[in-house]
Structures are given as structure tokens and as C-alpha cells.
């Protein structure tokens, strides 16, 4: 009898129920889309921000102290070096999979045709085969994505004679009067080399006055074999919170459980800490500007998504409220009759709630899949990639739909509870 | 002890006394008619007797229990167990068939029993119309479904509000005959009506005017059968 009445109502009031299902579907779709994007946006924004360069720098401990003491950020005289043979260890830390790219740098003074210049040895698209079996092309080709190659092309480190090529900044190229394809004679403190300019780049900064060459080439010019000045690391990080800030100051101040939480979360500070554990006498520190921007953008984006979700659900609740109240008013004589022949408030409320929740389930399922579609549209439009559907979204949307449906039913249920059978049956 | 006793009942809405010091006793198995012009307090009295409303003052003793003091939840239970309601507008659920409408009362009372519901429809002569929707039934047939629904749970009182108000003469006779049959089986009937012919077939008629019990007549020639002089 109960289900006969449910089906009777759903069938008889199908237009109203369709409107309720549509309202719920709309709310559920927006909630699904926003929650999916919100939960995936961290990775997406991080990936996006990777194009702005490294977010962690690693320098020798000694240089770090000197630089801090004299407030020198770059270009200070190196008094100590990092070891090239330890570079692979960066991809062995706990958060190895979050290290998306990195590049070592060695600076040396050279003379190019009698003109003094800064040469930088680095990786361009250096191929790495890690002990874990992972293969990676790392270097400035991807980490300096904003460099505009104005002449020639990017240096391809994986070709056989890469050691004889370099990329030169526009300012230095102009000063020397060279262009891509030209060969220049470079004299270092230890040796000389004839280098062909693979490309001229415009970095829009100090790097335009430097010449970038493969690490080995620069090392041999300056007699710096196996030595590097610094490492730039691009890592996917979690925005800092109080724990991360506290740990960044002094990891020893954390309790054991706090330490474990911090260590096992991809905060920039915990990744830095882990890099320091594998690189001898190194200080790894987050590039605050980038790390802070990531955190701020991420927080604002997530807040925006959350607000849209909340507003859409409030809108859905109001819509449901109007439709269910209208439905109850339309059925007041029927509800009054049920009460008159012995239905308690709980039975009548249960009947109406079952009808609405049945409708909500249909609307919720439709809305969920529509929301998944919206999320993909947002993903491809904004981030140029699909949004990964997290399993947690399903129960979250189900609970939200239930809460919104029940909240939307409250005024109608209150009205129903107050409904006196004699008022509706006798029109009093 | 009377089955129903109203003692000094008042129902006051602001300055309006819908019922004003009404005293009434109804014995078990009695057939009582309540008559009066519009606004005399008939429906108010029916609502109070039917446990759908409470008096402002006074006692309403049903089987010795003062229902005026009961909670809304208890009143629903009393109404479900002891009172069968018949309405002028029938108030059938339009998406349920005749038998389902009867079973609805069973559902809220105990357990729906299709066989028993069919027997109730048979008692009102509608067994063959059991699977019809209200929209497929005539007014008289709908009212008979309403009667079947009212008697399905074996109530102590059947309370009918203008039961023939929307019926033609032929259907009015069918419904009154049904009341006569129910009365002869020992059911207590309280019928609120405008129609003197329907009122006069009862054993006793009380007349309401301005919320007061104006007069009372006993039908000494009670047969329970309606005579049409129209």
C-alpha cells in the first residue's frame, strides 16, 4: 500500500516531481563539478605554476651562510660546491614522485673573443635513468619555459655532439655580435673550447647576459669537474599551514606525531628537508615567491569553488522548498484525509519524504553524471586536461544532496504537521 | 454509561461562540441526527466528536475517556480506532482504486487485508467496482466507497457529515438504507445533515441554533427507512 501510494503520487504529480528532480540534478551537478575541480585543482594549479620555474633551490650550506650574511641572492663567489654525483638522489626521497623536474647549475667566468662573460653549465633536456627504473628528461628546457628562442633552437642535449653547443642570451649575443649557428672561441680558467651557438634566447632578465652550456662543458672550462653551485627543483607541493610554518623554522620543535604528519605531507619545507637529507652539506629552501603564490592561488581557487558549491546547494534547497511546499498544498485534502482516518504525523511525513527522496535519488544520479561532464569541460577549458574524479566526491555529493533535500522539505513538513484534518476536509 | 457524552461544551473563536454550553448524550447503538442552519455549529460539533478538534471548555467523554484532554497524537489514535468518518465531498484518494481507498484505512489502522476490504465493498454493493478509480464511479458510488472505508475498522461510531449533500434521490436512498443496515447491526450513527428527510429517519434529532442546542425530537415511529415526499 505504501509503495502503491508512492508510485501513485510520483505518477500523478510527475511534472512537479520532474521539476524537483531537475532542481536537485542542477544542485548535484554543480556540487559534483565544483568538488571534483576543487579536489583536483591543487595538482592542476601546481602543474600550471611549474611553468613559472622552480619552487625549491638547493645550495651548499657554506654558500648559504655567506649569502645570508651578506644578503646576496645570486652571483656571490662560491666557496663550496655540491656534488654532481649526488644529483640522482633527489629522485629517491619520500616525495620523489612530486619532484617533476630539476636542474643543476655551475657558474664560471669565461672570455669569449676577448669579452668577459658569465658561463652557466646546466642540464637542458638531460636524460636520467634512475635506480628505481624511472626515466626522466630534466633540465632548463622545461624549467625555463618562458625563455623565448629568438634565433636558432633549444639545445638538444641528447644529440651526440651536444658538448660543443651552447645557448646565449640576447644581450650577450648582441654584445658579441653573434647569432645562431656561429662558432665562438671560449676561454675558461682551465681550458678553451670552440662552441657553436645553438640558439639565442630572450629571458627578460639577467640571464640574457649569460651563455648557457651543458654542465660538463662549463665544468671543464672552469676546472670544476663534478662540482655544481646550485640545484633548482620544481616540485608539486601542498600549501603551507601552521604545521608547515612551524616545521620550516625548526623541525625539531615538532612532536613525533606532528613530525610524521609533516614529513608525510608534500609541504615545500618537508621536501626541502628530505632533499637536505640526501645531498651532502646542502641547504634546500623554498622559493617563497612561487611557493606563496601557489598557496594563495590555490586557497582562493578552492574558496571560490566552495562558495559556488554552497550557493548552488542553497539555490537547490530553496527550489526544492518551493516545489515541495506547493506539492503539499496541492495535496492538503489528501493529507488531511490520511490524518482523519488515523495516519500519524510521522506516517504522513514519511510518505512525503520517501516520495521526495526517491525523486532526489534520480535527480542526484543524473546530476552527478552531468556534474562529472561539467568538471571535464572546466578541466579542458581552464587547465587543458581532464579532471580526475576522486572517489570521495560520490559519498560527499550523496550526503549533500540528502541534506539539501531534507532541508528543502523542512517548511513543507512543518506545514504538514500543522495541517488540521478538519480545516482541509471542511474548508474551515 | 453513555458511549458519548458532551458536558458543557464551548468552542469560542474570538467573540464568536461556535458552540455555547452544549450538553449531549449518545447511547451505544443509537442513530442520532444533528440538524441546524449554516453557522449553527454542526460542523464544529462534528469535528469535536470526531476528535479532529478540541473544545475551548467542557468535557467530551468517549467510552468514559475525556478526549478534550488528550494530545493530538492520542486523538489520532482514538479517531483511527473508534470513529469512522463519512464526508459530504467523499474525500477519496483519486489515484487509488475503490478497494485501495478502503485498504488505506486498514493500512493506517493495522494491516491491509484485500479480502476484508472486498467484503466491505460488497456490503455497500460495490464489489464489482473494486478496481475502479474514483473518477470512474458515480457520486453515489463514491459515497458508498466512503461508507465502506468508514466501517472497515469496525468503529464504535460512524460520523457522517452531510453524507447525502451531493447525492441525487436514488443515491440518497441507497446511502440511508446502508445506514439503516449498519444501525441494525448495532453500529452507533451520528449524522450531521441539512436535509430534514435524512434527519427524520434517525431515532433522535437534535437541532442546533447559534451554537446552542435548540431542541430535540424523538422519532417514535423509527423504522430507519427514508420516505420521499419531494
- Pair A203, A63 in one domain: yes
pTM > 0.80: yes or no: no
Question: H or E element: which one contains A280?
Answer: none
Q: How many inter-chain contacts (A to B, CB under 8 Å) are there?
A: 72
Q: Which CATH code for domain B29-55+73-218?
A: 3.40.50.300
CB-nearest to A426 from B43, B79, B107 is B43
Same domain, A113 and A245: yes
State how far the alpha carbon of B97 is from the alpha carbons of A155, B94, B132, in Å: 84, 8, 5
CA neighbor of B180 nearest in space, from B128, B227, B122: B227
- Residue reference for cell 620544481: A234
Give the strand pairing for A183-187 and B188-193.
Answer: unpaired
Domain count, chain A: 2
Q: Is A318 helix (H, G, I), strand (E, B) or coil?
A: helix
Q: Return the DSSP state at A238.
A: B
Q: Which residues of B touch A8 (CB under 8 A)?
A: 93, 95-96
Question: CB A428 to CB B43 under 8 A?
Answer: yes
Co-location of A43 and A154 in the same domain: no
Question: Same structural domain for residues A218 and A242?
Answer: yes
Claim to verify: residue A281 and residue A329 sit in the same structural domain: no
Q: Are residues A20 and A121 in the same domain?
A: no
Residue A173 belongs to domain spanning: 55-286
Per-position pLDDT tens, chain A of length 428: 777 777 777 777 788 888 889 989 998 998 898 888 888 876 666 666 655 667 889 999 877 665 655 555 554 455 789 999 888 888 888 888 888 889 999 999 999 988 899 999 999 988 888 777 777 788 888 888 888 899 999 988 887 677 789 999 999 999 999 999 999 999 988 888 899 999 999 988 888 999 999 999 999 998 888 999 999 998 887 777 788 888 877 888 888 888 888 888 888 888 888 999 999 889 988 876 555 666 677 777 778 888 888 888 888 889 888 888 888 888 888 888 888 888 888 888 988 889 889 889 999 999 999 999 998 998 888 777 788 888 888 999 999 989 988 998 899 899 888 888 887 676 55
What are A174's strand-pairing partners? none
List of residues 6+ apart from A260 with CB closer than 8 A? none
- Examine the domain organization and report whether A329 and A276 are in the same domain: no
- Judging contacts by C-beta atoms under 8 Å, the chain A residues touching residue B105 are 341-342
Task: Please report, to the nearest 10 degrees, the dihedral formed by the alpha carbons of residues B135, B139, B141, B145 taken in order.
Answer: 80
A391 in reach of chain B (CB within 8 A): no
Q: Round to whole Å and give the CA distance between A258 and A250.
A: 12
Residues A87 and A28 reside in one and the same domain: no
Which residues of chain A have a CB within 8 Å of the CB of B53?
Answer: 420, 422
Amino acid at each position: 500500500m505504501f509503495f502503491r501510494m508512492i508510485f501513485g503520487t510520483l505518477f500523478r504529480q510527475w511534472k512537479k516531481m520532474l521539476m524537483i528532480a531537475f532542481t536537485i540534478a542542477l544542485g548535484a551537478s554543480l556540487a559534483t563539478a565544483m568538488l571534483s575541480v576543487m579536489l583536483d585543482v591543487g595538482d592542476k594549479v601546481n602543474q600550471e605554476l611549474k611553468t613559472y620555474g622552480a619552487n625549491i633551490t638547493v645550495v651548499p650550506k657554506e654558500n648559504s651562510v655567506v649569502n645570508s650574511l651578506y644578503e646576496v641572492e645570486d652571483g656571490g663567489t662560491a666557496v663550496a660546491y655540491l656534488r654532481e654525483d649526488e644529483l640522482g638522489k633527489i629522485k629517491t626521497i619520500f616525495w620523489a614522485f612530486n619532484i617533476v623536474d630539476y636542474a643543476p647549475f655551475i657558474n664560471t667566468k669565461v672570455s669569449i673573443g676577448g669579452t668577459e662573460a658569465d658561463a652557466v653549465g646546466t642540464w637542458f633536456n638531460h636524460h636520467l635513468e634512475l635506480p628505481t627504473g624511472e626515466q626522466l628528461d630534466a633540465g632548463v628546457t622545461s624549467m625555463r619555459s618562458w625563455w623565448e628562442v629568438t634565433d636558432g633552437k633549444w639545445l638538444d642535449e641528447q644529440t651526440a655532439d651536444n658538448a660543443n653547443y651552447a645557448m646565449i642570451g640576447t644581450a650577450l649575443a648582441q654584445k658579441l655580435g653573434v647569432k645562431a649557428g656561429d662558432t665562438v672561441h671560449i676561454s675558461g680558467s682551465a681550458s678553451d673550447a670552440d662552441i657553436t651557438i645553438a640558439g639565442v634566447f630572450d629571458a627578460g632578465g639577467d640571464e640574457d647576459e649569460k651563455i648557457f652550456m651543458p654542465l660538463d662543458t662549463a665544468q671543464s672550462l672552469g676546472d670544476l669537474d663534478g662540482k655544481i653551485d646550485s640545484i633548482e627543483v620544481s616540485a608539486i607541493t601542498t600549501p603551507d599551514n601552521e604545521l608547515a610554518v612551524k616545521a620550516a623554522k625548526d623541525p625539531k620543535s615538532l612532536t613525533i606525531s606532528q613530525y610524521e604528519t609533516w614529513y608525510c605531507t608534500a609541504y615545500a619545507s618537508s621536501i626541502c628537508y628530505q632533499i637536505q637529507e640526501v645531498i651532502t652539506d646542502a641547504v634546500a629552501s623554498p622559493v617563497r615567491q612561487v611557493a606563496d603564490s601557489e598557496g594563495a592561488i590555490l586557497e582562493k581557487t578552492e574558496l571560490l569553488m566552495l562558495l559556488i558549491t554552497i550557493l548552488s546547494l542553497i539555490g537547490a534547497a530553496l527550489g526544492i522548498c518551493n516545489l515541495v511546499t506547493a506539492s503539499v498544498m496541492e495535496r492538503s485534502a489528501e493529507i488531511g484525509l490520511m490524518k482523519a482516518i488515523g495516519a500519524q504525523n510521522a506516517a504522513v511525513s514519511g510518505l512525503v519524504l520517501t516520495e521526495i527522496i526517491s525523486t532526489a535519488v534520480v535527480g542526484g544520479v543524473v546530476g552527478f553524471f552531468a556534474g562529472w561532464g561539467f568538471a571535464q569541460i572546466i578541466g579542458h577549458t581552464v587547465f587543458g586536461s581532464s579532471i580526475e574524479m576522486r572517489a570521495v566526491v560520490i559519498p560527499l555529493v550523496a550526503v549533500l544532496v540528502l541534506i539539501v533535500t531534507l532541508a528543502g522539505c523542512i517548511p513543507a513538513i512543518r506545514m504538514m504537521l500543522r495541517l488540521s484534518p478538519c480545516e482541509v476536509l471542511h474548508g474551515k | 454509561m453513555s458511549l458519548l457524552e458532551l458536558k458543557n461544551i464551548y468552542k469560542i473563536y474570538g467573540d464568536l461562540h461556535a458552540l455555547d454550553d452544549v450538553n449531549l448524550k449518545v447511547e451505544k447503538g443509537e442513530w442520532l441526527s444533528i440538524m441546524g442552519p449554516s453557522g449553527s455549529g454542526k460542523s464544529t460539533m462534528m469535528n469535536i466528536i470526531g476528535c479532529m478538534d478540541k473544545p475551548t471548555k467542557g468535557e467530551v467523554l468517549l467510552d468514559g475517556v475525556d478526549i478534550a484532554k488528550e494530545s493530538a497524537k492520542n486523538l489520532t489514535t482514538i479517531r483511527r480506532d473508534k470513529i469512522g468518518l463519512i464526508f459530504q465531498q467523499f474525500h477519496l484518494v483519486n489515484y487509488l482504486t475503490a478497494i485501495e481507498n478502503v485498504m488505506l484505512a486498514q493500512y493506517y489502522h493495522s494491516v491491509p487485508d484485500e479480502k476484508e476490504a472486498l467484503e466491505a465493498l460488497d456490503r455497500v454493493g460495490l464489489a464489482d467496482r473494486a478496481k475502479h478509480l474514483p473518477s470512474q464511479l458515480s457520486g453515489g458510488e463514491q459515497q458508498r466507497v466512503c461508507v465502506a472505508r468508514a466501517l472497515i475498522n469496525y468503529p464504535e461510531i460512524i460520523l457522517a457529515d452531510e453524507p447525502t449533500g451531493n447525492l441525487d434521490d436514488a443515491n440518497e436512498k441507497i446511502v440511508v438504507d446502508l445506514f439503516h443496515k449498519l444501525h441494525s447491526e448495532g453500529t452507533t450513527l451520528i449524522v450531521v445533515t441539512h436535509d430534514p428527510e435524512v434527519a427524520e429517519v434517525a431515532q433522535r434529532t437534535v437541532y442546533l441554533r447559534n451554537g446552542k442546542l435548540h431542541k430535540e425530537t424523538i422519532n417514535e415511529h423509527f423504522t430507519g427507512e427514508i420516505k420521499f415526499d419531494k
